[in-house]
Amino acid sequence: MLEVRGLTRSFGGLKAVDGVDLDVPEGAIVGLIGPNGAGKTTCFAAIAGFVRPDAGSVRFAGRDVTGHAPHLVARAGMVRTFQITQPFARLSVRENVMVGAWLRHGRRAEAEEAADRVACSVGMGAMLDMRAGDLTVAGRKRLELARALATSPRLLLLDEVMAGLNPTEVAEIVGVVRAIRDGGVTILLIEHVMQAVVSLAEHVHVLNQGRIIARGTPAAIAADPAVVEAYLGHGAAARLAGGGGGG
C-alpha cells in the first residue's frame, strides 16, 4: 500500500533522513522505531507532504504522491498524526475532530455525526463537549488519533501516540490502535518506546541517524546487536550479553 524508496531529506548539513526504503502492506501494522533524533518524524513529514524530500519517491495505493501537498495526500487516503499535539484549545473535542471530518463531509450535520462516531470509537464519547485545552496528555493523544481518523484514511501514520502515557493508558491505546486496524485501516506506527511496538507490529523497521539499520519481526529486532547499540550506545550489546566487551 505504501512504497518508499530512497527517501532523503537534509536540514542544513544534517541528513535527517538518508535513503530510506520502507514498505507497508495493506492491512498491516508496521512499526518504525529508533532513538530520539533518528529521523522518524522527518520520515513521516516527507511521506505525508509536510516537507519536500530532497530525493526519493513515495508511492501510495499505486500512485506517486512524492512531494504532494498534505491535503492532497490526505484526500488520497494517507494521514499522519503529530507527535506534538496542538488541538484548538478553546474548541470542544467534537469541533476538533470535525476539523478532520470536513475532508470528507461537506455538510455540518454530516461532519458532526462523523466526528461523534469517530470520537466514540477511540473512547472519547463522554468527552465530546469538553474543551480540548482541558484534556489530559492521554486525552490529547486520543484526540489527535480521532482527528486523523475522521479523515477516513486507508493508511494512518501514527507518531508516538503512546509517548508520555502511563502503562494503563498505553494498554488502552494499544487496544484502540488494534481495533482501528481490525476496522480496515493500515497502520504505520512510530514509537520511541519499543514495548508498545512489540505488542502491536508484525514487522518493524529500525531507523538510526537517518538510515534503516535493521528490519524484521519484533523478536528479531530486539535481538539484533545493531539495534541494541543504537539505543544503548556502542558496546552495549556485548555488555548485555555478559561478554564484558569494552566500550
Ligand X SMILES: Nc1ncnc2c1ncn2[C@@H]1O[C@H](COP(=O)(O)OP(=O)(O)O)[C@@H](O)[C@H]1O
Contact set with ligand X (CB under 6 A):
11, 14, 16, 34, 36-42
Dist CA 42 CA 144 (whole Å):
18
Near Mg ion by CB under 5 A: residue from 1, 41, 92, 207: 41
* Cβ atoms of residues 108 and 187 within 8 Å: no
* Cβ atoms of residues 110 and 103 within 8 Å: no
Shortest spacing between CB 110 and Mg ion, in angstroms: 34
Rule CB under 5 A: is residue 208 a binding residue for Mg ion? no
Taking the least distance from each CB to ligand X, the nearer of 37 and 233 is 37
**C-alpha cell of 123?**
473512547
Taking the least distance from each CB to Mg ion, the nearer of 105 and 140 is 140
Taking the least distance from each CB to ligand X, the nearer of 47 and 124 is 47
Q: Which does 56 bind (CB under 5 to 8 A by kind): ligand X, Mg ion, none?
A: none
Dist CA 158 CA 143 (whole Å):
12
**C-alpha cell of 20?**
530510506
Cβ density class 72-100: b for 16+ within 10 Å, e for less: ebbebbbbbbbbebebeeeebbbbbbbbb
Taking the least distance from each CB to ligand X, the nearer of 123 and 210 is 210
Shortest spacing between CB 67 and ligand X, in angstroms: 17
- x/- track of binding to Mg ion for residues 12-31 (CB under 5 A): --------------------
Identify which range of 9-17, 70-78, 81-89, 120-128 contacts Mg ion by CB under 5 A.
81-89
Q: Which does 42 bind (CB under 5 to 8 A by kind): ligand X, Mg ion, none?
A: ligand X
Dist CA 151 CA 89 (whole Å):
20
Dist CA 30 CA 84 (whole Å):
21
Identify which range of 41-49, 120-128, 145-153, 209-217 contacts Mg ion by CB under 5 A.
41-49
φ/ψ region of 141 (left if φ > 0, alpha if ψ in -120 to 50, else beta) reads alpha
* Residues of the shown chain interacting with Mg ion in the complex, contacts defined by CB under 5 A: 40-41, 83
